[in-house]
Structure 1
Amino acid sequence: MALSRDDVVRTALRLLNEEGIEGLTTRRLARELGVQSPALYWHFKSKRELLDLMAEAMLAEALPPDREPDPEHWPDWIAADARAKRHALLAYRDGARVHAGTLPTEDELPAVEAQLSALCRAGLRPRTALRLLLTVDRYIMGWVTEEQAWQQDAAGRGGAPFPDEALRTLPLLREAADVLRMTDHDTDFEYGLRVLVEGFRAEIARETAAGAGAGGPVVAAGPEAAEGDGPVWRHDRP
């Protein structure tokens, strides 16, 4: 039976869970599939492309590409996507490390365009909308990288981190000890996500006000409109 790209990606994801990202080599993957290493390059040009495909597969079920973002309720779907992405990456050993540095595949670009369109209709310019998506994405990547490292290293710490005695003369850290010890990853993740979303909610208000002050709408009429078609940026920030 001919080897398919899906066979390669699924086997790579299984090896990732078994060996971690350091153990995922093209030589080991080829051996697992019963082929010579050069045969793999019919399906991907480099290990970087393989990682892109693995990242896409990790998120495919959690974030279906045909989902339709709602401009009116953009904070809800931004938050829901962030939660789904975090849980999808946590489901794989070193999931965040695999995803870090990946680029959207061509198959994923229409979904990104749909998100940008919804955010523009909500009141953001295309560049700001893309910055929102990238900022949230990088928050998730950083968070899950730390979360997985914390969990994987727990056995080697030889006890609970930051014991009470170490905080005895540090009243502020003692009061926030549960955050310092990362005892509730979900709550802490939600806090950071909320701060990001609220920050961009304020950005929408600023851009809308800038557009009103310039005597016209701040948002281009559709995804095909050029960035320069609307009023100029009215802030001192880039």
Structure 2
Amino acid sequence: MERGTIVATALRLLDEGGLDRLTLRRLAGELGVQAPALYWHFRGKQELLDAMAAQMVREQPERPVFTDPARWRVWLADRARGDRAMLNSRRDGARLVAGTRPSPELFAQVERAVAALESAGFTAEDAMLGLSAVSGYVGGFVLEEQADRARDDEQEPPDREAVARAYPRLMAALERIGDPQGDRAFEGGLALILDGLERRLAGGGG
């Protein structure tokens, strides 16, 4: 039994039943072995989850290459969109990645990203803060997206007219934004972060 086979099977079970139903016992049964056999390959469930998250990142289409420091904003936005797609490629993908330990591959990616933003004029500190802000935003957004899909759709929808009367500013904003977990909302929030980074860069950092 290969380590890669175990990870691939675990990812399939994740898609089928979600993170809460993924257990070593269920995985072992799917593989036709006893649960202790998995410990030859993984010291525990956390190590398995780390390997699953790393595989998700490896399956992601190649990230945009940084070639023009003047277009750092376009590059960073494309990275964010790619990360959102990657997290949404698996059921509970955001929860899985958020709960795992970073791999050497991830450290190498962040190192290259910090260097890229430094070449655009950011300090290393601001580059790291900016990358963390974008990453946290994407992870949180997808977490809400995936939770929204998992909610019970059998509940009666609220009376929109009553809600609009009680919360007029909220409803007016939502009319312009659309689905709070949709593409337009994602792009709007991302733009706010990038606007802040642009102002920081124009002000010389610090």
TM-score, normalising length: structure 1: 0.77
SS of the residue 1:117 aligns to? helix
Q: Which residue of 1 aligns with 2:162?
A: 165
Give the aligned residue type for 2:56.
Answer: M
Paired with 1:62 and 1:32, the residues of 2 have a C-alpha distance of: 26
Structure 1 residues 43 and 134, CA, compared in 2 at 3 Å: closer, same or farther?
farther
Paired with 1:201 and 1:177, the residues of 2 have a C-alpha distance of: 26
Structure 1 residues 184 and 139, CA, compared in 2 at 3 Å: closer, same or farther?
closer
Relative to its length, the structure with more helix (as a share) is: 2
Give the aligned residue type for 1:205.
Answer: A
Q: Which residue of 2 aligns with 1:175?
A: 172
Q: Name which of structure 1's ranges 176-185 and 139-148 shifts more when overlaid on structure 2.
A: 176-185
Matched, 1:113 2:111: yes
Q: Which residue of 1 aligns with 2:186?
A: 189
Paired with 2:93 and 2:170, the residues of 1 have a C-alpha distance of: 31
Give the aligned residue type for 2:91.
Answer: R
Give the aligned residue type for 2:143.
Answer: T
Structure 1: 5+ residue stretches without partners: 209-234
Over residues 164-223 of structure 1, what are the superposed CA-to-partner deviations in whole Å (9 max), with x where a residue is unaligned?
222224332232243687366100000001111111122222335xxxxxxxxxxxxxxx
SS of the residue 1:92 aligns to? coil
- Alignment size in residue pairs: 205
SS of the residue 2:104 aligns to? coil
Q: Which residue of 2 aligns with 1:87?
A: 85
Equivalent of 1:96 in 94, 97, 119: 94
Q: Which residue of 1 aligns with 2:201?
A: 204
Q: Is the CA contact 2:10–2:22 (under 8 Å) kept in the aligned structure 1? A: yes
Q: Is the CA contact 1:12–1:54 (under 8 Å) kept in the aligned structure 2? A: yes
Q: Is the CA contact 1:173–1:180 (under 8 Å) kept in the aligned structure 2? A: no
Equivalent of 2:142 in 134, 141, 144: 144
Structure 1 residues 169 and 24, CA, compared in 2 at 3 Å: closer, same or farther?
closer
Written as runs of structure 1 = structure 2, the 5 A alignment for 1:18-167 is: 18-64=16-62, 68-70=65-67, 71-159=69-157, 161=158, 163-167=160-164
Paired with 2:187 and 2:108, the residues of 1 have a C-alpha distance of: 28
Q: Is the CA contact 2:80–2:138 (under 8 Å) kept in the aligned structure 1? A: yes
Q: Is the CA contact 1:164–1:174 (under 8 Å) kept in the aligned structure 2? A: no
Paired with 2:39 and 2:203, the residues of 1 have a C-alpha distance of: 49
Structure 1 residues 77 and 130, CA, compared in 2 at 3 Å: closer, same or farther?
same
Q: Is the CA contact 2:114–2:127 (under 8 Å) kept in the aligned structure 1? A: yes
Structure exhibiting the larger radius of gyration computed from Cα positions: 1
Across the aligned residues of Structure 1 and Structure 2, the Cα RMSD in angstroms comes to 2.3
Over residues 79-98 of structure 1, what are the superposed CA-to-partner deviations in whole Å (9 max), with x where a residue is unaligned?
11111111222221111111
SS of the residue 2:40 aligns to? coil
Paired with 2:200 and 2:50, the residues of 1 have a C-alpha distance of: 31
Structure 2: 5+ residue stretches without partners: none
